[in-house]
């Protein structure tokens, strides 16, 4: 999947306009350089467009992202009867933030500082999920009847659409026996041994694979080391116990395999930015 446009987890894309078109004559895509991104989804016919000398023929049920600041144009090759939906939107990143290229693993979904500071890569071109046209039909029913905060609501809906778009396409691209399944096996093994110290040799024996390869592959796919994932699983379990039990911090520390509470507290603070005792005081 060729990532082209990125959205971020800490802010939604800002929609400028959206709509649908049908051409009743031979159509030529406008020659232009825009200061915003374009999303195209074809429901009938074929849209021909060139971006930076790369030719695209976007057929029925297919999509294309056109990147802002890149030159795109068309030739007289889009036939009459072609219909498409489009979204004009911008993405603004916080220049002071160093965004990560990997989302937090599903098993590590408790909030921590910098949780939302990651990119979500959207594919350049391909076959759209089945319900894409339904999304446009529903959102365009109200897009031209402004209400208070109308553009914010629209941008939020488009953000949710792009997230679902990304999820469905990445799931579709994930083949059986893929490297992603290896990550899932590792996380399951770590979760089953959450009350024990990290044991690289036990993991290697469990997977019957070379540990250096496993460790390198895990880091490449998730953006973090196996031991850091194991540590964070422990801290997530600590939070769950704080919320759902009457255990004291020293008991939680012992249960998670830490030999002393001081070290447990230091690890917790490194991940969440505050001590476990301070965290507990904030719970309802």
Which of 86, 58, 54 has its CA nearest to residue 70? Answer: 54
Instruction: Give kind and range of the element (H or E) at residue 132.
Output: helix 132-140
Boundaries of domain holding 247: 179-281
Are 169 and 184 in a shared domain?
no
Q: Are residues 94 and 134 in the same domain?
A: yes
Residues 214 and 234 in one domain: yes
pLDDT, tens digit, 9 for 90 and up, residues 197-255 = 999 999 999 999 999 999 999 998 888 899 999 999 999 999 999 999 999 999 999 99
Beta carbons within 10 angstroms of residue 185's beta carbon: 15
> Distances in Å between the alpha carbon of 222 and those of 105, 216, 227, 266, 275?
7, 10, 12, 24, 26
Is 159 in the same domain as 207?
A: no
User: 69 with 153, same domain?
Assistant: yes
Within this chain, do residues 25 and 90 fall inside the same structural domain, yes or no?
Answer: yes
Does residue 17 share a domain with residue 144?
Answer: yes
Tokens of 74: 């068309």
pTM score above 0.85:
no
Number of domains in the chain: 2
Query: Which of 173, 191, 221 marks a domain boundary?
Result: 173
Picking from 173, 193, 210, the residue at the C-terminal end of a domain is 173
Give residue 107's pLDDT.
Answer: 66
pLDDT tens per residue across span 161-201: 999 988 887 765 545 447 778 888 999 999 999 999 999 99
């Amino acid at each position: 999947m060729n990532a082209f446009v990125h959205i971020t987890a800490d802010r939604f894309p800002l929609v400028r306009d959206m709509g649908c078109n049908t051409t009743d004559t031979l159509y030529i895509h406008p020659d232009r350089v825009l200061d915003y991104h374009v999303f195209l989804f074809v429901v009938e016919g074929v849209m021909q467009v060139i971006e930076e000398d790369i030719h695209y023929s976007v057929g029925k049920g297919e999509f294309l992202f056109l990147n802002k600041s890149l030159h795109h144009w068309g030739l007289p090759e889009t036939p009459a009867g072609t219909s498409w939906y489009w979204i004009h939107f911008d993405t603004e990143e916080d220049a002071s933030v160093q965004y990560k290229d990997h989302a937090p693993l599903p098993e590590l979904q408790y909030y921590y500082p910098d949780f939302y500071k990651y990119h979500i890569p959207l594919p350049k071109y391909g076959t759209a999920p089945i319900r894409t046209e339904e999304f446009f039909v529903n959102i365009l029913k109200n897009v031209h009847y402004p209400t208070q905060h109308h553009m914010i609501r629209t941008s939020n809906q488009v953000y949710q659409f792009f997230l679902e778009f990304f999820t469905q396409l990445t799931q579709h691209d994930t083949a059986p026996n893929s490297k992603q399944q290896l990550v899932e096996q590792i996380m399951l093994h770590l979760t089953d041994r959450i009350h024990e110290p990290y044991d690289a040799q036990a993991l290697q024996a469990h997977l019957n694979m070379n540990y250096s390869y496993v460790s390198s592959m895990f880091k490449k796919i998730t953006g973090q080391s196996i031991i850091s994932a194991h540590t964070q699983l422990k801290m997530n379990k600590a939070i769950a116990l704080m919320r759902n039990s009457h255990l004291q911090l020293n008991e939680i520390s012992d249960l998670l395999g830490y030999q002393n509470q001081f070290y447990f507290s230091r690890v917790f603070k490194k991940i969440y930015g505050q001590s476990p005792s301070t965290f507990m005081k904030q719970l309802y």
